[in-house]
Amino acid sequence: MYRKLFKYLYVVILILFLAHPILAGVAPEFKITQGSGDAVNVYVENATDLGAFEIELSYDKNQIEVISIQKGELVRNSQRVFSQLGPKIDPSGKVTFGFFSFGNTAGISGSGVLADIQYSGDSSSLKILKVKATDSKGNVLQ
């Protein structure tokens, strides 16, 4: 009788374990910080194995013009190879850009500047609308 109960309990535990989703890491916090001169930075806090990200920014097109977006210090100094997507500048006041990486090492971990945004005008209206991020294996960070 105990043997049958043990088998039943084992099967139930196995089913529960296999049915539980495997969660990727938690998405780090992204924010806009003032850079030097006419530049702002996209800053990340507490990243763990960040392998790719896409960011959509909004701004008042009457106050600011986005000129260029470059790799920030964390991306430039990563052990992985990062390539840039965009920027795609929407005349209504949105810009979307991203970076993806490949390599055999872990993604970006820690806090620091991911992207430098050169602009002209007043950057006070620049806001992060959306962020999509994955780890170095392509798992979505939530």
Considering the domain boundaries, does residue 123 fall inside one? Answer: yes
Look at residue 1 in the predicted model and tell me its pLDDT: 60
Considering the domain boundaries, does residue 19 fall inside one? Answer: no
Q: Give residue 127's Cα distance to chain centre.
A: 15
CATH code, domain carrying 66:
2.60.40.680
The count of structural domains within the chain is 1
Separation between Cα atoms, residue 12 and residue 5, nearest integer Å: 11
Please check the confidence at residue 135 and state whether its pLDDT lies above 60.
yes
Look at residue 9 in the predicted model and tell me its pLDDT: 45
Considering the domain boundaries, does residue 3 fall inside one? Answer: no
Considering the domain boundaries, does residue 102 fall inside one? Answer: yes
Please check the confidence at residue 82 and state whether its pLDDT lies above 60.
yes
Range of the domain at 95: 25-135
Look at residue 21 in the predicted model and tell me its pLDDT: 42
Q: Quick check: pTM over 0.75?
A: yes
- The CA R_g of the chain, rounded to the nearest whole Å, is 21
Separation between Cα atoms, residue 140 and residue 16, nearest integer Å: 23
Considering the domain boundaries, does residue 5 fall inside one? Answer: no
Please check the confidence at residue 130 and state whether its pLDDT lies above 70.
yes
Q: What is the pLDDT of residues 1-26, one digit of tens each?
A: 656 644 554 444 534 344 444 445 66
Q: What is the pLDDT of residues 49-74, one digit of tens each?
A: 999 999 999 999 999 999 999 999 99
Considering the domain boundaries, does residue 40 fall inside one? Answer: yes
Mean of all residue pLDDT scores within the chain: 85
% of the chain residues with pLDDT over 70? 82
Look at residue 28 in the predicted model and tell me its pLDDT: 86
25-99-69-97 Cα dihedral, nearest 10 degrees:
-80
Considering the domain boundaries, does residue 6 fall inside one? Answer: no
